[in-house]
Amino acid sequence: MNTFGFVLHPLSTDDVARKYPITRRLPSSWVEALLNFLKAQHLSHITGIRSLTGQETDGHFVSCNLSARQLMTYPEERCYRRILEAVKVAEDHGSQVVGLGAHTSVVGDAGVTVAERAKVPITTGNSYTVGTAVSGALEAARRLGHEVRQARAAVLGAGGSIGRACALLLAGEVAQLRLCDQRAERLEAVAAEVQAAGGAQVSTHTDLGEALRPAHIAIAVTSAIEAIVPAEALRPGAVVCDVARPRDVSRQVAEARRDVLVIEGGVVAVPGDVEFGFDFGFPPKTSYACMAETMILALEGRFECYSLGRQIDVGKVRAICTMAEKHGFKLAGFRSFERNVADQQIDRVRRAAEAARRSAAAAS
């Protein structure tokens, strides 16, 4: 049986309490100080993944014990060493391909250096993350009554690896595409590439609110360590697909704007009777898309580096989505802040958006 590994890390010190409940009583600074002394460790054996083809795979969760803040602020070499420690643990447990989760996938050159130094193939899972984020955002927009072909979309973090690929995929689906990033030089390069591919009318923005206000659909994929999307910048009826971890959209924004639908990107139903053996905050038998990509590669027997670096190959995005369908991986509906989004909630958002638009029209 083919075997994969997947590297997790605590997004915040609250996540440390999933493994060590006593840390709930400690200040965050103390918990992060303790993480510096914790070596990578095996968390669980993943079993029960069974493809529609009848193939099976198992895997291992391994921890890299640094928080998102630490991974984003520590020197790259220090982070590489800690990530490679975790990859080695996965290798020692028989993993033939290893996925990097959350901020372990964006440190430095987005997996390239880790892959060069590791003895097993590495993927960030970003190809399937992009595919599920775009398809999920478009489907949610349709459910809210938007005509996608006439819609305006925004990509926050468009200068990054995932943002660029989302923009290229969205360009052929919507009427207008607003690209936003603080790094103007990267932004212009992505805009030129998207325009060359054809499709939507493209504009670039370094101001987040300016990019968001007209958008019916937004995909948030920045590497910010805190939520950055302001509630007042969202139009009634907007769909925001928040792929970023930590989140770009806070729970307070969603609570303040009942006329907006905030969903999580990349929530995937895993085929078979999977047991993860570790609580990473998802319902049973579902995973992040980045995790699923690693499972798919193991089922395919493709022990190769797949999604690495800052330039995601859109061809690879389409290919991994085709492989996912073959094996029975699919979007697990919509989720928002660790909860399933029921049809009734979507209806409430649509009605609230219609009421907000009527009120704005009457006021004008």
Chain segment 183-229, per-residue pLDDT in tens: 888 899 999 999 998 889 999 999 999 999 999 999 999 988 889 99
* Mean of pLDDT values over 230-238: 96
Provide the token pair at 97. 């391909």
At 278-330, the pLDDT tens digits run 988 888 999 999 999 999 999 999 999 999 998 889 999 999 999 999 999 99
> Predicted confidence band at 89 (pLDDT cuts at 50, 70, 90)?
very high
Tell me which amino acid residue 356 is.
A
At 35-50, the pLDDT tens digits run 988 899 999 999 999 9
> Predicted confidence band at 17 (pLDDT cuts at 50, 70, 90)?
confident
Would the CA dihedral through 156, 112, 193, 267 be positive or negative? negative
CA 155 to chain centre: 13
Long-range contacts of 210-215 (CB under 8 A, 24+ apart): 210/180, 211/154, 211/156, 211/178, 211/179, 211/180, 212/154, 212/156, 212/178, 212/180, 212/238, 214/152, 214/176, 214/178, 215/152, 215/153, 215/154, 215/178
At 319-361, the pLDDT tens digits run 999 999 999 999 988 889 878 888 999 999 999 999 998 988 8
pLDDT at 53 over 90: yes
Mean pLDDT for all residues in the chain: 93
Tell me which amino acid residue 320 is.
I
pLDDT of 121: 98
Domain ranges across the chain: 2-127+269-331, 132-266+334-363
* Mean of pLDDT values over 63-78: 93
Of 42, 304, 275, the closest CA to residue 296 belongs to 304
Tell me which amino acid residue 128 is.
Y
Pick left, alpha or beta for residue 337 (phi over 0 → left; psi -120 to 50 → alpha; otherwise beta): left
Residue at token pair 């300016």: 210
Spatial distance between the Cα atoms of 357 and 359, rounded to a whole number of angstroms: 5
Residue 146: phi and psi, rounded to 5, are -80, 140
Spatial distance between the Cα atoms of 64 and 79, rounded to a whole number of angstroms: 9
Spatial distance between the Cα atoms of 320 and 234, rounded to a whole number of angstroms: 32
pLDDT at 99 over 90: yes
Of 320, 315, 314, 317, the closest CA to residue 168 belongs to 314
pLDDT of 134: 95
Other CB atoms within a 10 A radius of the CB of residue 351 amount to 12
pLDDT of 324: 98
* Mean of pLDDT values over 59-71: 94
Distant-in-sequence, close-in-space partners of 23: CB < 8 Å, separation ≥ 6: 13, 16, 17, 31, 34
pLDDT of 107: 93
- Buried b / exposed e along 176-188 (16+ C-beta atoms within 10 A): bbbbbbeeeebbe
Say how many CA atoms lie within 13 Å of 281 toward its Cβ: 18
Spatial distance between the Cα atoms of 113 and 165, rounded to a whole number of angstroms: 21
CATH fold of 132-266+334-363: Rossmann fold (3.40.50)
pLDDT at 257 over 90: yes
Residue 285: phi and psi, rounded to 5, are 70, 20
More confidently predicted of 160 and 90: 90
Peptide bond into 246 cis (omega under 30): yes
pLDDT of 266: 64
SS3 45: strand
